[in-house]
Every structure is written in structure tokens, then in C-alpha cells.
A = this chain, B = another copy of it.
Amino acid sequence: MQITVRPLALTLETPFKLSYGATTVRENVLVQIDDGTFTGVGEAAVVPYTGETPARVSAYLGDGALAAALGDNALWLEDALDRLPPGESSAARAAVDMALHDLWGQHLGQPLHRLWGLNPARSPRSSFTIAMDDDEASYRDRLRAAAAQYGLIKLKLGGGDWRDDLERVRIARAAVSAPLCVDANGGWSAEDGLAIIPRLAGLGVIFVEQPVARDDVDGWRALRDGLPGERPPLIADESVQGVDSVPPLAGLVDGINIKLAKCGGLRAARRMIALARAYGMRVMLGCMVESSVAVTAAAHLAPLADFADLDGNLLITNDPYRGAQIVDGMLHLPSAPGLGVTPRD
């Protein structure tokens, strides 16, 4: 099998403000795996705050051990995935996992969701993320524009005082009637969470993502013990990485946000879903700032999820591929074999 790696610079439509900082361009990496019959494609999201760099991703993808691990039979997907070098870069492993799934699906002539026995109409609505914005008028405009197109609006919070966060949600609630969810990106203390979350529930927020910091186990426990039972589900995001990170969260969180670039790909994501279901957790599918390659890979899993936040490709102006689409707020999966993505040209 032949591996080809090329840089993929994605331009953000709006500078992205997180509790971590702001950013305007992302340097992702595309990988193609060609077995002489078909070509599979995958994408590594280079996310600054996880320590990924284009160089680290390319080092993984260019390693001879990787090429040797792929074997020569694209049908034996599990064998190839078993042999992948672990490496430091989960985003690079995810890219290879996607490309191998794409190749496998093309050989079988079926889209991935069908090879998993899934009904594409079962996909949840995907949310669209609205960054924090100190200009109230522009915040309202962006909320209204998003609500006209998407069925669920996700508000980024966690930038400082929880009272400011609550005010953001009040503004959003007054501006749009669409369901809202919020992502604090770990920006609250347990005390903040205990104060704001019941108020958010009163404003119709349907889930709260990563209220406390990634490793704040005591914070998660304090929220679970201190909040009323009918709280909106608390979904772990930064607290979740790969498969191994799920069992310790049992009894601590109500759900997990699975992202391919964090967990290492589709197989790991499917294992995490199996674990989450065994623990009675909700499943959310998320993404990074990514083109339609990586977003579509995740979208094939959407019928297994309760919540989807697959808007990464909607935040960029130069998506080189076409794949899963959001039409009237609903996620539409491609029906072409494998990932089912095609270059825009």
C-alpha cells in the first residue's frame, strides 16, 4: 500500500475564541492510502492545545513502521488497525484509521454507516457552535443566522465569571427559540457549576459540556452530588481521550463527547460507544476544525449518538471535499462507498 501525505491549511471564517485563546487558521494534514485498486482518505486535525503539530503528525505518517503495518489486504481492516504503531499523535492515527475504513468500504462497495447496520435517518441534529462575543448586537445576529439554518445552537462559555456566561445564555435565549446547549470548556469551578447549571436548566439548555477542568475529578463528583437529579446531562469532553479514559468516568459524568482526533479513529470511537452504553452514558460526537473528510467520518457514526456537534467543516472557507451535509438542520450522510467523500475541485 502507498501512503501519501499532504498539508491541508484550513482558513477559519471567524477567528475562534476559546477559553484557551483565539485562532484564525489550522494546519491539518491529509493522508491517502492507495492499494492499487482504491484510494482511502483520512485527515489529521492539528489542534494547538493538544500538543499536535504538523511535524509530529507527518512524522507518524512517514514512519516506515506504519507502511509495514498496513499489510496488503484492505479487507482485513481489524488486522491493520491492530498493527498500527501507537505513536504520540492520536490525530495521525485517526487519519490512518479513517483512510483504512474508507478503503475497506470502497472494496465492499458500501458506505460505512451501512457496513455498521445503521439507519442514516436516526442521526441526531448537529449543533452549530457560536463563539463568545463581547459585542452583543453581533452575538445576536450570529445566533439568529445560525438558528435559521441549524436545529441546535451550542454556546461557548467559560471565559471568566459565570454570571457573564449566564448573561450570554439569557441573550441567546431571548434572541432565538432553537434548543441551546453550552460548552464551558472546563472554565468553571464546581461552585460555579452548582450556581449556574440549575439556572441554565431553567433557560432550556439541553446539555452542558465540560463544566469543570479536564482532571477535576472532585469537581465532577461535586456537581453530580450537588445538582438536582433532573439536571441537563453533563457531558465530558476534555476529560475524555481514548478508550481507556472511559471506564474511570463511569458514575462521574452523564455522557462523553467522542472526537476521532482525540481517540484515534473510528474503531476506537465505536469501542467507546460500546463502553458508554454499558455504563448508561449518553454519547455525543464532536469534531475539531476539520474539512469534510474528518467530519464525514464522524458523521457515519451519528446514528449511534444522542448528540452531534459536527460543524467543523462549516467554520472554514476552503473545504476541499464534499461529504456529509446539514440540510434544514438535519445531518445527511453520503451513500457512496467508504467515507463517501469527493474532492470539490
| Proximity string of chain A (67-90) to chain B, C-beta cutoff 8 Å, 1 when within and 0 when not | 000000101111101000000000
Within 8 A of B (CB), among A305-327: none
Contact B244 A278 (CB under 8 A): yes
**For this complex, into which size category does the number of interface residues on chain A fall?**
20 to 34
A271 located at the interface, meaning its Cβ lies under 8 Å from any Cβ of chain B in the complex: yes
Within 8 A of B (CB), among A102-116: 104, 108, 110, 114-116
Write the nearest CB–CB distance from A167 to chain B, whole angstroms: 41
Contact A278 B119 (CB under 8 A): no
- A277 to B243 alpha-carbon distance, docked (Å): 9
User: Could you write out 27 A-B pairs with CB less than 8 Å apart?
Assistant: A73-B119, A75-B119, A76-B117, A76-B118, A76-B119, A77-B117, A78-B117, A78-B119, A78-B122, A78-B303, A78-B304, A79-B122, A81-B117, A104-B117, A108-B108, A108-B114, A108-B115, A243-B277, A244-B278, A246-B278, A247-B247, A247-B278, A271-B274, A271-B277, A271-B278, A274-B275, A275-B278
Which residues of A pack against B, CB within 8 Å? 73, 75-79, 81, 104, 108, 110, 114-119, 122, 243-244, 246-247, 250, 270-271, 274-275, 277-279, 303-304
